[in-house]
Structure 1
Amino acid sequence: MSDRAADPEPPSTGDRVPEDLVSALDVIEGQPLTERPAGYAALHDELARRLDGSEAG
């Protein structure tokens, strides 16, 4: 087992979480519990569109 905290190399680009995703999750988590499912659904739709668009090219 390797300890990622002790790894001197930064993670590869594929391992990094885009800042816009983190920001979107922060906004969703700040909403009342009853409103979060709609936020997660919208985020899911947006990520699916991005993924579909990247595979098309």
Structure 2
Amino acid sequence: MRSAQAVVGGARYAEVVTPDDTDGALLPRLRVIEEQPLEARATAYAQVHDELKLRLEGGDSAGADA
């Protein structure tokens, strides 16, 4: 496991990258979003939120079946 730091929108974030993090694309994606106009950022952040929520909720239901 490794960790990385990034600055997005003036805030410093630490990210832990686990072995199952196959694409590692979240921080670069957030950097791209942060460079967009405010209205586009709001839409893009909402999309990231929805995708992460689906991923997390999917993980919960998969664990319940095991």
Verify same fold: TM over 0.5: yes
Distance 2:29 2:59 in 1: 20
- Cα-Cα RMSD: 1.9
Amino acid at match of 1:20: A
Q: Confirm or deny: 8 A CA contact 1:24 1:43 kept in the other structure.
A: no
TM-score (normalised: structure 2): 0.56
Using the TM superposition, give the Cα deviation of residue 34 of structure 1 relative to its aligned residue in structure 2, in angstroms. 2.2
Gaps of 5+ in 2: 4-14
Q: Greater strand share, 1 or 2? A: 2
What is the aligned partner in structure 1 of residue 16 from structure 2? 16
What fraction of aligned residue pairs are identical, expressed as a percent? 42
Q: Which has more radius of gyration?
A: 1
Q: Greater helix share, 1 or 2? A: 1
Distance 1:34 1:55 in 2: 32
Gaps of 5+ in 1: 1-9
Q: What is the number of residues matched between the two proteins?
A: 45
Q: Which runs of 4+ in 1 moved over 3 A?
A: none
What is the aligned partner in structure 2 of residue 33 from structure 1? 38
